[in-house]
Amino acid sequence: MAKVFIMRGLPGAGKTTWIRNNIPDAFICSADNYFLDEAGIYKFDCLFISEAHESCLKCFAEILISHKDETENEHLVIVVDNTAIRAWEISPYYNLAKAYGHDVKVVSIKCDSDLAHSRNIHGVPLERVEKMDEGLIGETLPSFWNVEVVEQVSDD
């Protein structure tokens, strides 16, 4: 059984930082990787969001498949690093990981939209962050999902 973490939170909420601090050796699947050029520079293009998420899900599925015959998966840690505002964005990862018998947790990084916007390194406009926050607040995840909420606080 591997450990699978599915991150959730606004742009700038601190998902990637949390991964770095808590599970530094994890395999990371992220739609953001699709927008990295050969030099590792992030070049977002909203026309390719679907492709980016398809590529992320494929990356995740391939890791699960490539480890499926291992009886000893205790040290395998996989993390999905997307904003994952809506339950439908989380479901494919959650269900696939459970189907392969892994231990799954959604790590929801709770952060005020102003703080997240002030920290966000991907240039997401405040209006978009606020809209995403409305979605986040309005969305109820299935009660049977394993969810941990991590509160972010301003350091000023």
Ligand X SMILES: Nc1ncnc2c1ncn2[C@@H]1O[C@H](COP(=O)(O)OP(=O)(O)OP(=O)(O)O)[C@@H](O)[C@H]1O
Cβ-proximal residue to Mg ion, closest one: 16
Asked if 120 interacts with Mg ion (CB under 5 A), we say: no
Pick 16 or 73: Cβ nearer Mg ion:
16
Asked if 83 interacts with ligand X (CB under 6 A), we say: yes
Query: Taking a C-beta distance cutoff of 8 angstroms, is the pair 10, 131 a contact?
Result: no
Report the site for ligand X in 117-156 (rule: CB under 6 A).
119-122, 152, 155
Asked if 14 interacts with ligand X (CB under 6 A), we say: yes
Report the site for Mg ion in 15-74 (rule: CB under 5 A).
15-16
Among the listed residues 9, 79, 113, 136, the single contact to ligand X using CB under 6 A:
9
* 121 contact choice in Mg ion, ligand X, none (CB below 5 to 8 Å, kind-dependent): ligand X
Number of H-type helices and E-type strands within the chain = 5, 5
Q: Which of 10, 4, 48 is nearest to 28 (CA)?
A: 4
147 vs 113: CA distance, rounded Å: 20
Q: Cα torsion at 100, 23, 91, 56 (round to 10°)? A: -90
Report the site for ligand X in 38-57 (rule: CB under 6 A).
none
Query: Taking a C-beta distance cutoff of 8 angstroms, is the pair 91, 139 a contact?
Result: no
**Interface positions with ligand X (CB under 6 A):** 9, 11-17, 83, 119-122, 152, 155
